[in-house]
């Protein structure tokens, strides 16, 4: 039995209250759904800047009537301290996912991103501290590795930061470390590596590459690859991220507190490989409605400012400290994700 399987057994008889910020977003909604479906109480906080009401509706529809009684939603902004104070009432564990994501967004408008990603982060940390909440798990990012050429990436060695977003996430990690030393808070940072899966938004200027490409292919639109397509990423399925959040939220290993962990699979695929994989999955899916095979070639354009060239994680620290054991590689994850994308893209 894995550490995570053991944890799910305890959930059957032990109920805690989890605050999930960014509850209406991609990762936050998946965390909330999983917790509610495993006998936990969830308080959700979101201002709908990048999240959606339909994600919350989906959660409540999927978990059943009894589990919905364990869910409370607060519409509010983490940049407002009083909202954070209200959200922390009666909470045991914070899973802080709320942020304005995207490297390009932060380059275009660093001030607005800073308001959410640093002011909002500090508000949440402080409100949690004041409420007596010990455990604070938060979303960091693989962007903190900057121009480091080392592969795979290990947590202790980062390079020069390449974007305001990366600087904000590194600042989160610094604050979390200080709150451990100063206030004894059990902070754990999760450096996400290109997460994908159900409920990921395919629309908007800053949509993640996988749902954006899937949406474009299903609609017969052009697909663009930044650079030569040999840029590589450690694509990580949402179920692995759920597991790591819950392990971080419950671990009793004191050595994990104040640390940051890679959340990935430990693999690496180029954008060219990714595009081929997505086309194959769509073409081979039994629920695809198109009449003929998708053969469209991608269009290459300039590299994007602030992007890391190669990203590949060493996940041994997460494995050793909290018992992380990813269940999905990119191929297993993509098979599940493509089905969801096909069934849901364009319906919302």
Nearest to 236 by CA among 190, 282, 267, 204: 267
Report which DSSP code applies to 325: -
Catalytic residue among 52, 138, 145, 165: 165
What string of DSSP letters covers 122-170?
Answer: HHHHHHHHHTT--EEEEEEEGGGGTT---SSB-TT------SHHHHHHH
Give the whole-angstrom CA distance, residue 295 versus residue 274.
14
Inter-CA distances, 12 with 9, 15, 39, 67, 326, Å: 6, 8, 6, 13, 22
Token readout for 258 is 């104040």
86: burial class by Cβ within 10 Å (0-12, 13-18, 19+)? middle
DSSP 3-state assignment of 64? coil
Inter-CA distances, 146 with 184, 237, 297, 313, 339, Å: 29, 22, 30, 13, 33
Give the whole-angstrom CA distance, residue 107 versus residue 163.
6
Catalytic residue check, 275: no
Strand 232-233 to strand 269-270: parallel, antiparallel, or no bridges (unpaired)? antiparallel
Give the whole-angstrom CA distance, residue 210 versus residue 195.
9
| Backbone angles phi and psi of 319, in degrees to 5 | -65, -45
Token readout for 218 is 């299903």
Nearest to 58 by CA among 24, 19, 99: 24
- Residues catalogued as catalytic: 165
């Amino acid at each position: 039995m894995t550490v995570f399987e053991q944890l799910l057994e305890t959930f059957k008889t032990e109920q805690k209250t989890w605050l999930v910020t960014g509850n209406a977003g991609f990762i936050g909604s998946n965390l909330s759904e999983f917790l509610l479906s495993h006998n936990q109480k969830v308080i959700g906080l979101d201002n709908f800047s990048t999240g959606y009401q339909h994600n919350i509706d989906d959660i409540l529809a999927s978990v059943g009537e009894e589990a919905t009684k364990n869910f409370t939603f607060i519409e509010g902004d983490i940049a407002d301290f009083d909202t954070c104070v209200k959200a922390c009432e009666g909470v045991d564990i914070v899973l802080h996912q709320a942020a304005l994501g995207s490297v390009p967004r932060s380059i275009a408008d660093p001030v607005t991103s800073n308001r959410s990603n640093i002011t909002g982060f500090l508000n949440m940390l402080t409100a949690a501290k004041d409420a007596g909440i010990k455990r604070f798990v938060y979303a960091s990012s693989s962007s903190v590795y900057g121009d480091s050429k080392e592969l795979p990436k290990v947590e202790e060695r980062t390079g020069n930061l390449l974007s305001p977003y990366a600087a904000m996430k590194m600042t989160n990690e610094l604050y979390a470390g200080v709150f451990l030393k100063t206030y004894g808070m059990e902070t754990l940072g999760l450096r996400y590596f290109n997460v994908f899966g159900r409920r990921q938004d395919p629309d908007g200027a800053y949509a993640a590459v996988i749902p954006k490409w899937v949406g474009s292919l299903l609609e017969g639109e052009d697909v663009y690859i930044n650079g030569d397509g040999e840029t590589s990423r450690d694509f990580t399925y949402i179920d692995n991220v759920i597991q790591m959040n819950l392990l971080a939220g419950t671990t009793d290993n004191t050595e994990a507190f104040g640390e940051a962990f890679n959340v990935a699979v430990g693999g690496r695929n180029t954008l060219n490989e990714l595009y081929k994989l997505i086309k194959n999955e769509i073409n081979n899916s039994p629920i695809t409605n198109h009449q003929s095979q998708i053969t469209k070639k991608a269009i290459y354009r300039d590299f994007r400012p602030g992007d890391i060239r190669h990203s590949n994680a060493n996940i041994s620290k997460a494995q050793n400290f909290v018992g992380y054991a990813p269940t999905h590689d990119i191929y297993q994850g993509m098979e599940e994700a493509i089905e969801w994308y096909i069934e849901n893209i364009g319906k919302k």
